[in-house]
Chains A and B, each alone.
Chain A
Amino acid sequence: MHVLDVAVIGLYFALIAYIGYRTGRGNLGIEDFFLAKRAMPWYVIGLSVMATQASAITLIGTTGQAYVDGMRFIQLYFGLPLAMVILCATLVPFFYRARVYTAYEFLEKRFDGKTRSLTSFLFLMGRGLSDAVVIYAPSVILAIVFGIDEKILIVLIGAGATLYTALGGMRAVMWVEAWQMMIIFLGILFCLGAVIAGLPGDISLVEAVKIAGAAGRTETVDFTLDPSVTYTFWSGVVGGIFLMLSYFGCDQSQVQRYLTGSSLTESRLSLLFNAMFKIPMQFVILLTGALLFVFYQFEKPPPVFNPVALERLRVSDHRAELASLEREYDEVFELRKDRASGLAGALSTPEEPEARRLFLDAETRFSEVRGRVIALVEENDGVRFNDTNYVFPAFVLAELPPGIVGLILVAIFAAAMSTVESELTALSSATVIDFYRRYLKTDESDSHYLAVSRAATIAWGAFATVCALYMGRLGSAIEAVNRIGSNFYGPILGVFVLAVGTKRANGHGAFLGILAGVAAVQLAARFSDVSFLYYNLIGTAAAVAVGYGLSLAFSTPERSV
Chain B
Amino acid sequence: MGLETDSPPPIFRTWRRFYFVVVVNTFLAYALLLLFSLFAR
Contact = CB atoms under 8 A, between A and B. Distances in A.
A binds B: yes
Interface of A: 41-42, 74, 78, 81-82, 84-85, 88-89, 209-210, 212-214, 218-221, 233, 262-266, 268-269, 272, 275-276, 279-280, 283
Contact of B37 (A210, A219, A265): A219
A82 B26 contact: yes
Given A81-B22, A85-B23, A218-B40, A268 B33 contact: no
B38 to A, nearest CB: 9
Contacts of A82: 23, 26
B40 A209 contact: yes
Interface size class of B (residues with CB under 8 A): 20 to 34
A272 B37 contact: no
A81 B3 CA distance: 23
Given A78-B30, A262-B1, A218 B37 contact: yes
A275 B6 CA distance: 18
B40 A89 contact: no
Of A221, A233, A264, which is in contact with the most chain B CB atoms at under 10 Å from its CB?
A221
Contact of B30 (A210, A218, A219, A221): A221
B41 interface: yes
Contact of A89 (B3, B15, B29): B15
Contacts of A78: 26, 30
A220 B37 contact: yes
Given A221-B34, A264-B6, A276 B40 contact: no
B33 A221 contact: yes
Contacts of B41: 213-214, 218-219
B23 to A, nearest CB: 6
A266 B1 contact: yes
Contact of A272 (B6, B18, B33): B18
Given A262-B1, A263-B5, A265-B4, A210 B40 contact: yes
A266 B23 contact: no
Contact of A220 (B3, B7, B23, B34): B34
Interface string B1-23: 10111111100000100110011
12 contacts: A42-B1, A74-B33, A82-B26, A210-B40, A221-B33, A221-B37, A263-B6, A265-B1, A265-B3, A265-B4, A269-B9, A279-B29
Nearest to B6: A264
A280 B34 contact: no
A213 B40 CA distance: 5
Contact of A81 (B1, B7, B25): B25
Contacts of B39: 209, 213
A220 B36 contact: yes
Contacts, number: 74
Contacts of B5: 263-265
A88 B19 contact: yes
Given A265-B8, A266-B3, A220 B15 contact: no
The 8 closest A-B pairs by CB, nearest first: A213-B40, A218-B40, A81-B26, A220-B33, A263-B5, A264-B6, A221-B34, A85-B19
B26 A275 contact: yes
Contacts of B4: 265
Contacts of A263: 3, 5-6
A261 to B, nearest CB: 10
Of B1, B3, B33, B40, which is in contact with the most chain A CB atoms at under 10 Å from its CB?
B40
Contacts of B34: 220-221
Of B18, B22, B23, which is in contact with the most chain A CB atoms at under 10 Å from its CB?
B22
A84 B25 CA distance: 13
A262 B6 CA distance: 10
B22 A272 contact: yes
Contacts of A272: 18, 22
Contacts of B8: 265, 268
Contacts of A84: 22
A449 to B, nearest CB: 28
Nearest to B36: A220
B28 to A, nearest CB: 10
A274 to B, nearest CB: 10
